[in-house]
Chains A and B, each alone.
Chain A
Amino acid sequence: MVWLNIVLNRLVWLVPTLLGLLAIVFVLSRVVPIDPARLAAGDNASPEQVAAVRHSLGFDRPLPEQFLRYVAAVARGDFGTSLFTQQPIADDLAARLPATLELTLVAIVLAAAIGIPLGVVCGLRRNSWLDHVLRVVTVSGLAVASFWFAMQLQFLFSMKLAWLPLSGQIEGFPPEHVTGLMIVDALLTGDTEALRSAVRHIVLPAITLALPAAATVVRFTRNGVIGVISSPSVAYQTAMGYPRRLIVWKYVLRMAVTATVTQLGLIFGILLAGAVVVETVFDWPGIGAYAVRSILQSDYNAIMGFTLWAGAIFVAVNLLVDLLQAAIDPRGAR
């Protein structure tokens, strides 16, 4: 019941949100000073050739008609063709999805594994030196430009120390395709060579991506713990002689994590935005780098496809967060 409500609530708004998003990007992409037909036809095409391309791509029709045609095509699962890769956008995105997924997952795990314990400790020892140090670190983590941080990591660990590769996702042959996630595939097929390479490649981008997310997790968890630790329920348990460690690591932690989960949508937004830049700097063959390249090349079909994809992912993540919240908080989504 509750679950169904949550799902329906989100889904009802999915379509209008995505349509609105498409409309905005569409309008933007059609006021471009650059002529997409000229781009598609190539540099030394004659005016007639350009006109022919324009006609075949439908760019000579009125804007509303173009938009409706586009929406109708999308509804059929056809996102159009990339002007540059000459591949269907859907295929391009699908091919790059696993790389982004792998990077994001590793970054989320990293951010949670570092952020939650640190946040708990800071909340418990509020105003201790550790709390102050970590406050500086987290505020700083949110102030660093990720492309610059990435470059500094590359400079130190790849160029100077030569411990880790500079960019890319893997060296040599990728593991046999099972799930598309390199590390998982390498593990499944027992390809130690590929595993080693994949892990070494993911370290720097994952750290760059995880930094602002981890900083956010620390802050939310810390504030959650502080809120809970001074709550009447903890005062009651203390007065009733529950052991301190039980109170903290069972009751308080659960409350603080619940509070952090409600912010997961925000954290995921940070990661998605970060992926765009991080993938570009590290030449990571994912959707973020693809988006930047499409935008820089005015590959408008790809831009629309990516925007749609990002919007859908966002809605899906928020739906997931709602469901997760309903699952871990017995009071449910009221």
Chain B
Amino acid sequence: MLRRFARDRAAMLGAVLIGLLVLAAVFAPWLAPHPEDVWQFHTPRRLLPPGPGGLFGTDRMGGDVFSRILFGARITLSLSVIAVGSAVLIGVPVGLVAGYFRGWFSDLLMRFAEIFLAVPQIVLAIAIAQTLGPSIQNVILALSITYWPFWARLVYAETRSLRNEVFIESAVALGASPLRVMVLHVLPNIASPIIVRTSIGMGATILTAATLGFLGLGAPPPTPEWGRMIAESREYLPDAWWYALAPGMAIFLTVLGFNLLGDGLRDILDPRTRRSAGQGGGGGGGGGGGDE
């Protein structure tokens, strides 16, 4: 399985991109040429194009964009990990319970989850973030509230389709408690789609978080949040063309990394939706299959 993954160059690229993000976040203080620029102003050096002074140029406060990008990685990573983690922690149990038991309570849970899916996620997130006030914690809260139904819906559907499997029913017949069946029998069998969904969900969450930052709903300045940096750069276009370039690329590469990884994981974990089935797959399905 690992070898299959290693041969998938796109998925490997995704893993590498995420690895770089993690490295940047962890070692930002040591990697950044000007770590102090996150908080300090150097007005004489403001809006310098990329050059010997700074790899990606400087911003309106004279801060080194490269250093700020590295510190921004910390925000992006911690924010998305916590937000997605909470969404998973809410969504998976809700989906498990609603999928495992039948009855009005399950229906109610899923109807409640679907309400959140009835408006674009970005709108809900903006509304919540604005209501709660601009801070990183509130962005995380907004994202968790917005995104948990995705996991609930996925886990619900998977659990429902597993519910009638022989091995689940036999576990129930042997007297295992519902909790035990859910955690020990259902959950391990639906882990693959959850993992895939989580990787892709990371990408979506990071995009939404950046959008919140762009609209001024994230952490207050001078926090080096990538979306906010892009918003700041707007009034200096077209002269300071480099200003938005680096944060935009940083968002792009990070989201790309999680999406590629998710695609690759889907291929190895979830054979139903395998993207590039083995060469015999097509022919076998066309003629060789179905003899049993």
Contact = CB atoms under 8 A, between A and B. Distances in A.
Q: Do chains A and B touch in the complex (CB under 8 A)?
A: yes
Interface of A: 13, 16-18, 20-21, 24-25, 28-29, 31-33, 126-127, 135-136, 139-140, 142-145, 147-149, 151-152, 154-155, 159-160, 223, 229-232, 234-235, 269, 272-273, 276-277, 280, 291-292, 295-296, 298, 303, 306-307, 310-311, 314-315
B215 A230 contact: no
Given A139-B259, A230-B282, A232-B286, A277 B238 contact: no
Contacts, number: 139
Contacts of B255: 142-145
23 contacts: A20-B112, A20-B115, A142-B255, A143-B255, A145-B210, A145-B230, A147-B214, A147-B227, A148-B247, A148-B251, A229-B282, A230-B282, A231-B286, A235-B287, A272-B120, A273-B120, A291-B123, A292-B215, A295-B123, A296-B215, A298-B130, A307-B123, A314-B118
Contacts of B227: 145, 147
Interface of B: 10, 111-112, 114-116, 118-123, 126-128, 130-133, 203, 207, 210-211, 214-217, 227, 230, 233-234, 237-238, 241, 244, 247-248, 251-253, 255-256, 259-260, 263, 275-276, 281-283, 285-287
A126 B282 CA distance: 11
A231 B275 CA distance: 16
A17 B117 CA distance: 10
Contacts of A143: 203, 207, 252-253, 255-256, 259
A33 B116 CA distance: 23
A16 B282 contact: no
Nearest to B260: A139
A109 B186 CA distance: 43
Contacts of B286: 230-232, 234-235
A28 B127 contact: yes
Nearest to B282: A230
A17 B114 contact: yes
5 nearest CB pairs, A to B = A273-B120, A230-B282, A159-B238, A148-B248, A143-B255
A140 B131 contact: no
A152 B131 CA distance: 30
Contacts of B241: 155
A24 B247 CA distance: 34
A140 to B, nearest CB: 6
Contact of B276 (A126, A155, A229, A315): A126
A33 to B, nearest CB: 6
